[in-house]
Amino acid sequence: MKNVKMIALICGAIFALGFPLVVHTSYYIHILFMVYLFAALGVGWNLIGGYGAQLSLGHSIFFAIGAYVPVLLMLNFHISPLIGGIAGIGLALLAAALIGLPCFRLRGPYFALATIAAGEITRTLLLHFQGVTGGANGLPIPFHGDDALNLQFSTKAPYYYLALTLLVVVFLLVRYLEKEKVGLYLAAIREDQDAAESLGVKTMHIKLLAFMLSAAIAAAGGQIYAFTVAYIDPDGVASINLSIEIATVVIVGGIGRLWGPVLGAAVVILLTELTNIYLGAMRSGASLGMYGLLLIIVILLRPDGLISLFDRFDPELNKKGSK
């Protein structure tokens, strides 16, 4: 069994690394780019939403910060997005702390509602301060030729590898944390917050930590997205729909499971793209509607996510219980 897993992993790696070398259609590369991006966002969201069971519906805030900050710094002050990105992540960490501190006192639907409100405030502000953000018109990033320092490339492949790198880094980070103190503490919080407290777990600290980490990941994703599509606007990067899409990827794949968001992103993105191909030309709304439909179907039929379909093939899991 272990061998099968290993072989699958190696094949996956070869496929992922080699894909842009073999396939040059930028549309296909873009689809995989989106899969990696959403998988990374999902793995990050899972930290707080899955392992910690705090249903955040405001992750678009951090995605938007990660997108707007480096773009604004580059357009206005010619600061390289490599530095701007760090500023974006820093600001996202700060925002997460500011939002998390009061919000984590709330439980259940109240927390979700508060994050929605915070997300809507962010979007409204981005729309309002047109002078800086371009308002609803958004900000196009003019192309000045290949320039790695400014994250500008004439082909899709470099962005593809950026997203892939983000996914791998985030995945390995979360895989490490899962087995460490933070991961175990988050699991305790998810299971029973009062009991966790009684065992000395400072639940507020742990939730904040997970939320901030997850926000930083969303910000990194936002930056990569912004420079890949070379255009940002509040509806694209700060809408509640984006927050829901991130959550959907995780739910569909398997909440609180390491591979869940990866599987979820693959299924959701591919299905929505297929919908676009077959229905998109004549009908708008089809691909987003697919998110809704998938969410409903998975919640009703398989609340543990699609990844749970593979559980029966994993003898280790069956022996040791949930991982």
C-alpha distance from residue 97 to each of 44, 103, 178, 209 (Å): 16, 10, 21, 8
Does 125 bind other proteins (CB under 8 A)? Our answer is yes
Which residue(s) pair with 152 in the sheet?
A: 147
Strand ranges for 160-284 from DSSP E: 231-232
Q: How far is the CB of 139 from other proteins (least distance, A)?
A: 18
41, 294, 306, 307: residue in contact with other proteins (rule CB under 8 A)? 294
8, 128, 137, 154: residue in contact with other proteins (rule CB under 8 A)? 128
- Sign of the torsion angle spanned by Cα atoms 170, 173, 176, 177: negative
80, 120, 230, 276: residue in contact with other proteins (rule CB under 8 A)? 120
Cβ neighbors of 26 (< 8 A, separation 6 or more) are: 155, 156
Measured between alpha carbons, how far is 60 from 39 in angstroms, rounded to an integer?
15
16, 75, 127, 271: residue in contact with other proteins (rule CB under 8 A)? 127
6/299 with CB nearer other proteins? 299
Does 202 bind other proteins (CB under 8 A)? Our answer is yes
Tokens read off for 38: 């959403």
Q: In Å, how far from its chain's centre is CA 69?
A: 18
Residues 44 to 103: which contact other proteins by CB under 8 A? 53, 55, 57, 102
Tokens read off for 315: 């003898």
> Which spans of this chain sit near other proteins (rule: CB under 8 A)?
53, 55, 57, 102, 105-106, 108-110, 112-114, 116-118, 120-121, 124-125, 127-128, 179-181, 184-185, 187-188, 191-192, 194-203, 240-241, 244, 247-248, 251, 255, 279, 283-286, 288-289, 291-296, 299-300, 303, 319-322
